[in-house]
Structure 1
Amino acid sequence: MTLTPQVSVVIPVYNEGEAIVACLERILRDVLMPAEVLIVHDMPEDTTVPFAHSVAARDPRVRAVLNTYGRGPANAIRFGVDVARAPVAVVTMADGSDDPRQIEDLARLVERGVVVAAASRYMPGGQQVGGPRFKRLLSKGAGRTLHLFARVGTRDATNSFKAYSTAFVRQVGIESKTGFEIGIELTAKAARLRLPVAELPTIWLDRQLGESRFDIGRFMPSYLRWYWFAFGRRLTVEQMAKRPASSAARSDAQAARAHFEDHSQPASPANRS
């Protein structure tokens, strides 16, 4: 019998190749609570997959899972969170920008009752090292104004390095399908529902290998949509769930979980060759 993990670590990947090995080794070393680590890829031929399988052969906590929602980081993150088996899902990047030692701290905040726990670059003790200056200014400005005026509970709503209550996510659904907007979407939804959000300081390092696929011009409209959404009147869970996009997202998630669970079961002895 497979035990339910305490935390699901969701890592969207795109042709990371052998670099994923060092990322996974850091996570597996630093996360001591029962965990599953989901390497979510968009296509079977992704160069990350064979290296993820090599690590999984040594450590059963690791699984490479194929995203069936469509290509792109938002769909990969959404799929990973939707099929997560743990009560807490932590989204982190494969490029080494996030500190894996904080995964457990974020997860424990959710265990204590918050629905979103954010790793914050912009609170006292936090820092961002590197990255495009214009992107950094936009992110910092959005985080501070949302914290001051929309009372979202974190100064870094746009950071993807967050932990989520999977029960909360399954109530409200994930609608984002572009870029890395899921972090601000779920933070904004928690704010509208007046549910608790917490943060802890983090030091974010710009990726050292490969190139960032963040396109400000293409992703900005989606970020602005959720930025303004955070300022709306209070909603109930029922009102949030009745929104057509939220309802559709929850239906997708239910179907994905059912399919994923069916195909994740070990073969019975009679069917093994």
Structure 2
Amino acid sequence: MNETATPALSLVLPTYNERENIQRLLAELQQVITIPFEAIVVDDDSPDLTWQAVEEIAAIHPHVRLLRRIGKRGLTSAIGDGIKLARAPLVGWMDVDLSMPPAKILELLKAIEQGADVAVGSRYVPGGGDARAVSFHLSVQLMLSKILSILGGWMLGCRFRDWSSGFIILRRDLLSGYDLTGDYGEYFIHLIYTLIKRRHAKVVEVPYILTAREIGESKTATNLWGLVRRGRKYLTTVWHLRFGAAT
């Protein structure tokens, strides 16, 4: 890969206390992605100095860019701010905890080469899966995610399964005039619905297996009450989209 070439893909990587994981992920991305790309790391001023580690990498590798946000936090806004910096015709994002395999990006890109407007890494199509159910908490999380998968497709009338994926590559022009909405994963429901129903994009789901993180703490709800509150936000988003309260 030519690190100084005009990027064909802008990959947004939101981070908070992911120093070790982001270093590993950036190294793996450089190995597996064969087209010119830029990695835009959006860090919310991590106490573990994630931003400093990325700054050092960016000084050596010009395809790595850093946005350090001070006094501002949140997954959805971090992705949105990264998208605003994107220079490539294709933009994507993924978790940085290595639970999403970097090599799958090649399959997402291939789906777009074959005619898709949007390619989503999906746990809920044949060949996909979620290998994180190693505790009661994670088992409940997986159950709620599957319920959302069923209800989302049924209520919104979309032939789509993984409504909480967050692993995606799409044509950047499809986001023109659109801002991600929500404070966590519910943004993805609104985005996919908008792409399918309002922008008539061809969305393809590519199977992958989500694995448990090895290093650091999850940013997902860490207790049952947190899962219930987050699940309620997801279902409320589906309800508003279905019955016309959301815009």
- Using structure 2 for the length normalisation, give the TM-score: 0.84
Alpha-carbon distance change, 153 to 104 in structure 1, aligned in 2, over 3 angstroms: farther
The 3-state SS of whatever aligns with 1:158 is coil
The more displaced of 80-89 and 145-154 is 145-154
Identity of aligned residues (%): 29
- The answer for unaligned runs of 5 or more in structure 1 is 234-239, 244-273
- Give yes or no for contact 1:90–1:107 (8 Å, CA) kept in 2: no
In structure 2, the CA distance between the partners of 1:105 and 1:59, relative to structure 1 (3 Å rule), is same
Q: CA deviation at 1:189?
A: 1.1
1:133 to 130, 139, 148: 139
d(CA) in 2 for partners of 1:28, 1:211: 25
Alignment of 1:1-273 (within 5 A): 3-43=5-45, 47-67=49-69, 70-110=72-112, 112-131=114-133, 132-148=138-154, 150-176=156-182, 178-193=183-198, 194-215=200-221, 216-231=227-242, 243=247
- 1:107-160 CA distances to partner (integer Å, 9 max, x unpaired)? 343455544321111111011111401111111121133335534342112111
Root-mean-square deviation (Å)? 2.4
The answer (yes or no) to whether the contact 2:14–2:79 under 8 Å persists in 1 is: yes
- Tell me if structure 2 keeps the 8 A contact 1:116–1:197: yes
Cα distance change of structure 1 residues 227 and 68 upon mapping to structure 2, 3 Å threshold: farther
Moved over 4 A (4+): none
Tell me by how many angstroms 1:231 deviates. Answer: 3.3
Aligned partners of 1:161 and 1:151: how far apart in 2? 21
Structure 2: gaps of 5 or more residues:
222-226
- Relative to structure 1, the CA distance from residue 169 to residue 69 in structure 2 (aligned partners, 3 Å threshold; closer, same or farther) is farther
CA pair 51-180 structure 1, distance change in 2 beyond 3 A:
same
Quote the offset at 1:195 in angstroms: 2.7
Task: Give the TM-score normalised by structure 1.
Answer: 0.76
Higher relative contact order (CA 8 A, sep 6+): 2
Q: How many residues align?
A: 233
